[in-house]
Each structure stands twice: as C-alpha cells, then as structure tokens.
C-alpha cells in the first residue's frame, strides 16, 4: 500500500499533494528544519526531537526514498522539515580533505541540493552534533553549500546556468516580497546547535546517576 502523499500533516519533499487541500493555508507559518547525527545510544533519529516536542509520533509511517520528510503542525503554524541523510553525507562527503571542486565532481548533487533547499526556505535550522564543540565537517559543509550557491552550474532540462540565478528566476514566479527575490531565498535561517554527549559518555553518565540513586 502506497504511503499517502499528505497524511495528517506529514508529507515527503518534494510534496505530491494539492496545496488547496492544506488547512489554514492563508496564515503565515514558520519553517523549522533539523539536521544532524543519528542517536546510536537510543537507536533513534533526530526526528524524535520533533516528536517529543509535539508529544506524538508524526514520522512513524514509511517515507520511501524521500531525503527530506516534513510535518505541518496546523495548531502552531509550524512546518517541520527533517533532512534524513546528514550522517552519510558528512561521512562520505567530507571525511577526507578535498577542495570544493573535487567534491562537486564526485558527489551526487541531488542530495546536496536538497540540503541547500533547507537553507532557502527555513527560518530556523537545528543542527544536532555530538560533543561539546562543533564538528569541523559542518563548517566545511556550510562553506560548500555557499560555494554551490555562488558558482555551481545548474541544469534541469534547460541551458546550464548558475544555481543562484536559477533560484531567483523561480522565485520571481511566486507571490513573494521583493527582498526574497533579491536575496535569492524565502528566508534567512538562524542556526541553533544542539550538542549531545557521545553515546559512551552518555551511557556512563546514566549509570552514575542510577548508582547515585
């Protein structure tokens, strides 16, 4: 049985439903995206952060091959987007030191463009990472995304053009304020970093608490 394109607020990206069916579509919404590491201690994913906040399981249904899965919370007027490929992207893309041109030549650009998409539409991006310091691979990744925006040629059944120019052309077809079109993005996201202890340290801390109790 196929997964519904829009089921109680949950949807894949790109969405495959009629936007006319969305409730309260005339109201403004905030877009919150979450990227980061899998929690190997609890065998869960970063989507649990959203589910814990909403106090309900919203990502329990299979999502197929969608790199991004979303949920529209009508009550709070928040759209949650989760990038599901962050761990593999960091490990495979940035584990070995390479310049941007080499990475772009070797990597599947589709997944990078999905991540780039989040930086165009999100108001807040939550980055989940292990340790007490920011993983330097994230810094390299953010620089790479900026590099993509500036210089990488983009083609989709059209002559090859700069990705930024392609995005701006698309935005001009939408009913958006001029500043969005000029900036080449719908929103300028704020980054919020959530630092988690590595699983081995977390397990030891939990054991110490249990022993103390």
| Assigned domain for 18 exists | no
| Assigned domain for 34 exists | yes
Instruction: Give the dihedral sign, CA 118/119/123/128.
Output: positive
Contact 187, 177 (CB under 8 A): no
| Assigned domain for 6 exists | no
> Residue 2 above 50 pLDDT?
no
Predicted TM-score (pTM) of the model is 0.70
pLDDT (tens digit per residue) in 75-121: 788 888 888 766 666 666 656 656 666 666 655 566 777 888 888 88
Contact 191, 35 (CB under 8 A): no
| Assigned domain for 20 exists | no
Tell me, what's the pLDDT at 158?
42
| Assigned domain for 138 exists | yes
Percent of the chain with pLDDT over 90: 2
| Assigned domain for 17 exists | no
Instruction: Give the dihedral sign, CA 127/128/133/134.
Output: negative
Tell me, what's the pLDDT at 116?
82
Contact 38, 45 (CB under 8 A): yes
> Residue 131 above 80 pLDDT?
no
Q: Per the structure, how many domains does the chain have? A: 1
Cα distances (angstroms) measured from residue 174 to each of 12, 13, 118:
21, 18, 18
Per the structure, the complete domain to which residue 129 belongs is given by 28-212
| Assigned domain for 22 exists | no
Tell me, what's the pLDDT at 124?
92
> Residue 177 above 60 pLDDT?
yes
Cα distances (angstroms) measured from residue 166 to each of 39, 209, 213:
36, 54, 59
Judged by DSSP in three states, 57 sits in coil
> pLDDT class for 157, splitting at 50, 70, 90?
very low
> pLDDT class for 188, splitting at 50, 70, 90?
confident
Residues 6+ positions from 204 with CB-CB distance below 8 Å: none
| Assigned domain for 4 exists | no
> pLDDT class for 128, splitting at 50, 70, 90?
confident
pLDDT (tens digit per residue) in 133-144: 887 778 878 887
């Amino acid at each position: 049985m196929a997964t519904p394109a829009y089921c109680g607020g949950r949807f894949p990206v790109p969405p495959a439903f009629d936007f006319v069916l969305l409730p309260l579509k005339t109201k403004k919404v905030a877009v919150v995206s979450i990227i980061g590491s899998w929690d190997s201690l609890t065998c869960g994913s970063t989507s649990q952060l959203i589910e814990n906040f909403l106090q309900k399981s919203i990502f329990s249904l299979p999502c197929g091959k969608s790199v991004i899965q979303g949920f529209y919370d009508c009550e709070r007027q928040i759209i949650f987007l989760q990038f599901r490929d962050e761990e593999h992207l960091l490990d495979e893309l940035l584990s070995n030191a390479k310049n941007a041109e080499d990475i772009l030549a070797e990597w599947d650009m589709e997944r990078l463009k999905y991540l780039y998409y989040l930086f165009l539409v999100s108001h807040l991006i939550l980055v989940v990472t292990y340790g007490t310091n920011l993983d330097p691979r994230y810094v390299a990744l953010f620089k790479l995304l900026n590099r993509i925006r500036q210089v990488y040629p983009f083609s989709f059944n059209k002559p090859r053009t700069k990705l930024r120019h392609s995005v701006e052309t698309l935005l001009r077809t939408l009913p958006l304020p001029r500043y969005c079109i000029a900036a080449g993005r719908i929103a300028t996201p704020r980054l919020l970093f959530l630092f988690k202890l590595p699983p081995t340290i977390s397990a030891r801390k939990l054991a110490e608490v249990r022993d103390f109790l």
